[in-house]
Structures are given as C-alpha cells and as structure tokens.
Amino acid sequence: MSNLMKIEKSSQELENEVIYAGLCIHCGSCNAFCPHMDFNEETGLAYVVDECAETVGLCY
C-alpha cells in the first residue's frame, strides 16, 4: 500500500504555476470546476475572478 499524500492547491496557485508560467493549454477544465475562475474568450486564458483560499484541489 502506498503512503503518498495528495497535494491540493488553490486557484491562485493554478494561476501562478500554470497560467502565468505559460503552461495553460486552454482546455477549460479549471473553469468548469471552480467558481473562482473564468475564461477570457479573446486571449483563450483562464484567470482568477476572486481570491480563493480554499485548497479543494478541483481546479488544479
């Protein structure tokens, strides 16, 4: 049995580590699961609408 821990991150970490890092592939998954995220139709990038302190892990 594995003793691996699941690391849960917030939408702010997603924005910093994926979107700003240029790693976003414009799939829309984060936006589909997180009410704190939205999608810019012109640029194709997701962005954080409001601060989220939750680390639910659904968006990232």
Question: Per the domain annotation, does 57 fall within a domain?
Answer: no
Question: Per the domain annotation, does 54 fall within a domain?
Answer: no
Domain count, the chain: 1
Ranges of beta strands (E only) in 1-60 are 37-39, 46-48
Distance CA 11, CA 52 (A): 6
Question: Per the domain annotation, does 59 fall within a domain?
Answer: no
Q: Which amino acid would we find at residue 48?
A: V
> Which pLDDT tens digit goes with each residue over 23-59?
988 888 888 888 888 888 888 888 888 877 666 666 7
SS3 27: coil
Question: Per the domain annotation, does 41 fall within a domain?
Answer: yes
Q: What is the pTM of this model?
A: 0.66
Q: What pLDDT score does 58 carry?
A: 66
Neighbours of 59 (CB within 10 A): 25
Token reading at 32: 């589909």
Distance CA 47, CA 59 (A): 11
